[in-house]
Amino acid sequence: MPRSHSSWKGSASCRLEWRPSRLASVMLGVLGGLAVVALFGSALTRAGAGAASVLAIGYDLHLLRRYLRSPVRRLVIPGGTSACTLDGVALARLVVQWRGPLAFLAWCDVAGQRGHLVWWPDTLDARQRRELRLAADEAAVSPTVAAVAP
């Protein structure tokens, strides 16, 4: 009986795309609205709260526009001893942390530049979450370091 390719641990690789989340953009807009409510509920005068709320809404719209225009990123975690890549750039270090359905990716490339990405539930389905979890756990164990003392 032939095995499925997904169960082969030696050749398994993870290829994922990151894109801006609609859920995160909605939450960013809600936070902008809550900032306005908080300003009017503070001890500021009406004129001061009005001016600050215009600034808060403007900054929120700027952040929202910048987030939604973020380019699609492609992460590849190959099986074996190959280096992980993000948009074709080799990564020296890759850390994936989980907070419920959210996946936080932090990396450092070979040039020393650092970065991070967050996958929200609407951009990463259950199959892709499992694939990322398994590949990141395997990539965290470095095959080039000896398991026991020489």
Report the DSSP beta bridge partners of residue 14: 77
In a domain, 3, yes or no: no
Co-location of 83 and 61 in the same domain: no
Inter-CA distances, 122 with 29, 76, 102, Å = 17, 20, 10
Co-location of 28 and 83 in the same domain: no
Q: What is the pLDDT of residues 108-127, one digit of tens each?
A: 988 889 999 999 999 999 89
pLDDT for 73 equals 95
Co-location of 106 and 49 in the same domain: no
Q: What pTM did the predictor assign?
A: 0.75
Co-location of 81 and 15 in the same domain: yes
Domain around 51: 23-68
In a domain, 146, yes or no: no
Task: Report the alpha-carbon distance of residue 44 to residue 1 in Å, rounded.
Answer: 73
Co-location of 32 and 62 in the same domain: yes
Residue type at 18 in one-letter notation: W
In a domain, 150, yes or no: no
Number of domains in the chain: 2
Least confident of 21-25, 64-68, 73-77, 144-148: 144-148
Co-location of 107 and 82 in the same domain: yes
Co-location of 29 and 15 in the same domain: no
Cα dihedral 48, 50, 54, 56, rounded to 10, equals: 70
In a domain, 1, yes or no: no
Co-location of 78 and 135 in the same domain: yes
Is 117 exposed, middle or buried (CB count within 10 Å of its CB: 0-12, 13-18, 19+)? middle
